Amino acid sequence: MSYAIREALKAFRRTPMLSLLSVVAIGVSLFVVGLFALTAYNIRRAIEGIEARVEIVAYLHDDAAAAQVNDAERDVAKLPGVASIRYVSKDEALVTAVQELREFREVLTNLDSNPLPASLEIRMRPGHRDPTSLERVAQRLSSYSFVEEVNFGRDWVGKVVSLRRIAGGATAIIGGAFAAVAAIIIATAVRLAVFARREEIEIMRLVGASNGFIQGPFLIEGLVAGFAGGVLAVALTLIAFEVVNDNLLRLAWLPGSWALLGIGAGAVYGLLSSAVAVRRHLRGA
């Protein structure tokens, strides 16, 4: 192992431009994947933000008794997926309407009586904001005699769910295509680096070196080059993120685990590409 490490370091010093080419090829290839990951992550966050605003509103009759409403709150809170339930009084509903509907502020403040009903606002946990879960809670609310109407925007929620599915499918297909192209570019770059040192491989074979002994330095070179390329890809993605964030629109940076995954992917790509390239060369020799 120590020999393989020494030889790998010597190779970097002997052919710095070739090594740099491999690192840059890996870095740029994974940078494209990183840009797509950044885009997909922010699209997913935007959809999740929309989903987080989904709530069920049950409008109550004016003669609803407080005891009945309290019992309903406790009952509904036990349903699967319910995150919170909040009672909104008639007065609170009017205050909210005055604040949010500014064009009707004068009309609302000059009313002789409050026409807005009290309501129950129910928010669901992530993973339970689909039409089926919302419909189940809405049906339970509708079963109470003091509930006048239940609304959660069925059509709107359905469109959000469809959008999430389309975004997920597109992410998987396009992301997989980018990853495949990156793998091909990385493999080509590493194969060129191995081919450039074919004479060194031939000499080692002539002196009786085993295939494993020959492969060792190349595998370490591929691992190091892939790791460096992964770091370069993350750095380039971060630079692109900062430029867009400062000049175009606000974005969220990728989770740390995603960045580490990108670096790890570069190292694995480099290692596997080196292994395949050297093995093919040895078989063909």
Task: Find out whether 252 and 45 touch, Cβ atoms under 8 Å.
Answer: yes
Q: Quickly tell me which residue has 């309407």 as its tokens.
A: 97
Nearest Cα neighbor of 189 from 121, 276, 120, 255 is: 276
Reported pTM: 0.67
* Residue 268: per-residue pLDDT: 85
* Residue 64: per-residue pLDDT: 85
* Residue 117: per-residue pLDDT: 87
* Residue 111: per-residue pLDDT: 66
* Residue 110: per-residue pLDDT: 64
* Strand ranges of the sheet holding 55-60, from the earlier edge strand across to the other edge: 82-88, 119-124, 55-60, 147-151
* Residue 239: per-residue pLDDT: 92
24 Cα distance to chain centroid: 25
Q: What is the mean pLDDT of each run of 10 residues along the chain (285 residues)?
A: 61 67 81 85 82 84 86 88 88 76 63 79 84 86 88 73 74 74 69 67 67 71 84 91 86 87 85 76 60
* Residue 235: per-residue pLDDT: 92
- Distance CA(151)–CA(23), nearest Å, equals 56
